[in-house]
Amino acid sequence: MNKQHPLIVFSPSGMRGRVAKGTTVLEAARQLGVDLDSVCGGRGICSRCQILPSFGSFPKLGIKVSADSISEWNKVEERYDRVRGLKPGRRLGCQARICGDLAVDVPPESQVHRQVVRKSADRRPVTMDPAVHLYFVEVSQPDMDLPGGDYQRLQTALEEQWGIKNVQLSLQVLSRLQGTLKQGDWKITLAIHQDHTGFAPRVVEIWPGFFGGPLYGLAIDVGSTTVAAQLCNLADGAIAASSGIMNPQIRFGEDLMSRVSYSMLNQSGAADMTSAVRIAVCGLIQSLAATIAADERQIVEVVFVCNPIMHHLLLGIDPVELGQAPFALATDASVQTTARDLELVVLGNDVPVHLLPCIAGHVGADAASVILSEQPHKSEDLVLLVDVGTNAEIVLGDKTRVLACSSPTGPAFEGAQISAGQRASPGAIERVEVCKESLEPKFKVVGCDLWSNEDGFADATAQTGITGICGSGIIEAIAELRMAGVIDKSGLIGAATAGNESRLIRDGRTNAYVLHRS
């Protein structure tokens, strides 16, 4: 054993190497390229650097680890444990020093790029790699003998303490910098955006003193009829909040082409629709943040997907060219912009906003996002993806070729222009089965796994109630009613084969079938 340069082995990465005796575990992780988080830069404040040392003999690793292979608890760790508590066996990697050969485990919450298994059907693992991180910095105070700006001293501190050079900040952040530095006694936490494009790192938001997060990313789907959004915790990928609203552009026209017509016929038509959707998105962001008692400033990155006309209107581009052949897009590339440019005034000016690329004149960024997520272009088997909204997109393909197309379907599947229609939110009927003998229905609602005829259904849905029917419920109800003979082949409800009059409401030529009476 080389006593002056003990061996340290990190799990689960398996990365190992020798470091000088007395090196902290965090420094060793950085030297060896191990994924160990830190916001406070090793000051014992953030606890992101937690590690779990293992003791004993590890023949596979070729080391023996004794209790004195790691330094004793120091005052910083003792204070942290007293005030906020450390799990049994855990140490702060920035405080614990390596005294002998050592094996340490980096728990998932201490990994920056942790793998997250999504809870959706395919359970594909996602590696978290957010472009925005928090950095805690101590900035030197102004000095009569050293004239210079606070921003420049912040740049120096960032380079010295984190190796981040040439950080940029907007006038909006600059205008708050001095007050924030003073409030934090010259300590400040910055959310800095650095991505793979090579642009200079940029300060997105600042907080006085230490701020440990969480930070959130926001994903928004602007549909023709509804706008749906999810707030995602950037540390672990968990969905912190979901919500949706009706797209206020409906008042300008229910489907895509009627909105293009509105733009053609009214001088400020496109601008009015742009303004309406941006204001609605701001309201949606506020309500999402309120749901989890978060500050909107914790939202540091936004991704939009939309069909091409919604995409153009969100960006402030007149969609008139999309209303006529050859249906030319203003751009078929992804768009990188900021909250300021999109007038998302509830967010910081410099919050990065990304729009996925539109594929063609009427196949939008929403279809691109489905392809990105489901990856039909990597599949051996033929994959069919169907997204039925007010506009429907269909993607078909495998690793040799992928085709996409779209067609208008109307707003009914999003809950518009249908009695009791609604978005797929808790309480909406989403599954329907109709008994072919009795013609009695049973159904499931969003947020409850029980069928309506099962014990416990009433209790399980007491809070949400049964509030309406969403698109998937409509499709299945129509299919089930047709198979049960309640709907004839012309589409008429209450055909001669129907036998359960208690469920039918006859009204001249317009008949109805009652799924649920509330």
Please give the residue ranges that form the binding site for ligand FES (CB under 6 A): 26, 38-40, 42, 44-49, 92-94
Please answer whether residues 187 and 206 qualify as being in contact, where contact means their C-beta atoms are separated by less than 8 angstroms. Answer: no
Nearer to ligand FES, 93 or 184 (CB): 93
Nearer to ligand FES, 42 or 269 (CB): 42
Instruction: Map residue 200 onto helix, strand or coil.
Output: coil
With CA atoms as reference, report the closest residue to 32 among 46, 50, 19, 45. Answer: 19
Nearer to ligand FES, 162 or 513 (CB): 162
DSSP β-bridge partners for residue 505: 512
Nearer to ligand FES, 38 or 274 (CB): 38
Least Å from the CB of residue 74 to ligand FES: 12
DSSP β-bridge partners for residue 98: 70
Question: 339: which 2 tokens?
Answer: 């909250």
Question: 503: which 2 tokens?
Answer: 């469920």
Least Å from the CB of residue 444 to ligand FES: 46
- Specify the DSSP class assigned to residue 141: P
Please answer whether residues 243 and 287 qualify as being in contact, where contact means their C-beta atoms are separated by less than 8 angstroms. Answer: yes
Q: What are phi and psi of 219, to 5 degrees?
A: -115, 125
Least Å from the CB of residue 118 to ligand FES: 29
Least Å from the CB of residue 95 to ligand FES: 7
Please answer whether residues 203 and 169 qualify as being in contact, where contact means their C-beta atoms are separated by less than 8 angstroms. Answer: yes
Question: 363: which 2 tokens?
Answer: 């196949």
Spatial separation of the C-alpha atoms in residues 65 and 276, rounded to whole Å? 64
Helix-helix angle 269-291:308-315, to 10 degrees: 90
Spatial separation of the C-alpha atoms in residues 235 and 300, rounded to whole Å? 12
Least Å from the CB of residue 25 to ligand FES: 9
Least Å from the CB of residue 101 to ligand FES: 22
Nearer to ligand FES, 83 or 462 (CB): 83
The vertex-503 CA angle with 501 and 504, nearest 5°, equals 65
Spatial separation of the C-alpha atoms in residues 181 and 138, rounded to whole Å? 9
**Cα–Cα distances in angstroms (integers) from residue 36 to residues 129, 138, 316, in the given order:** 13, 21, 42
List b or e across 439-476, with b for residues whose CB sees 16 or more CB atoms inside 10 angstroms: bebbbbbbebebebeeeebeeebeeeebbbbbbbbbeb
Nearer to ligand FES, 46 or 315 (CB): 46
Least Å from the CB of residue 83 to ligand FES: 12
Spatial separation of the C-alpha atoms in residues 241 and 8, rounded to whole Å? 40
Nearer to ligand FES, 26 or 302 (CB): 26
Written as one letter, the residue type at 433 is E
The separation between CA 469 and the C-alpha centre of its own chain, rounded to angstroms, equals 26
- The H-or-E segment that residue 392 falls in is strand 391-397
Least Å from the CB of residue 152 to ligand FES: 26
Rounded to a whole number, what is the distance in angstroms from the first to the last CA of the chain?
76
Nearer to ligand FES, 39 or 288 (CB): 39
- Pairing type for strands 216-222 and 299-306 reads parallel
Least Å from the CB of residue 226 to ligand FES: 42
Least Å from the CB of residue 105 to ligand FES: 16
Question: 68: which 2 tokens?
Answer: 């004195």
Tell me which residue has tokens 């001669």: 496
Nearer to ligand FES, 25 or 358 (CB): 25
Least Å from the CB of residue 102 to ligand FES: 17
- Pairing type for strands 335-338 and 352-355 reads antiparallel
When CB distances to ligand FES are compared, the closest residue is 94
Least Å from the CB of residue 80 to ligand FES: 7
Nearer to ligand FES, 45 or 284 (CB): 45
Q: Is 75 exposed, middle or buried (0-12, 13-18, 19+ CB in 10 A)?
A: exposed
Least Å from the CB of residue 309 to ligand FES: 47
Nearer to ligand FES, 98 or 313 (CB): 98
Question: 115: which 2 tokens?
Answer: 């793998």
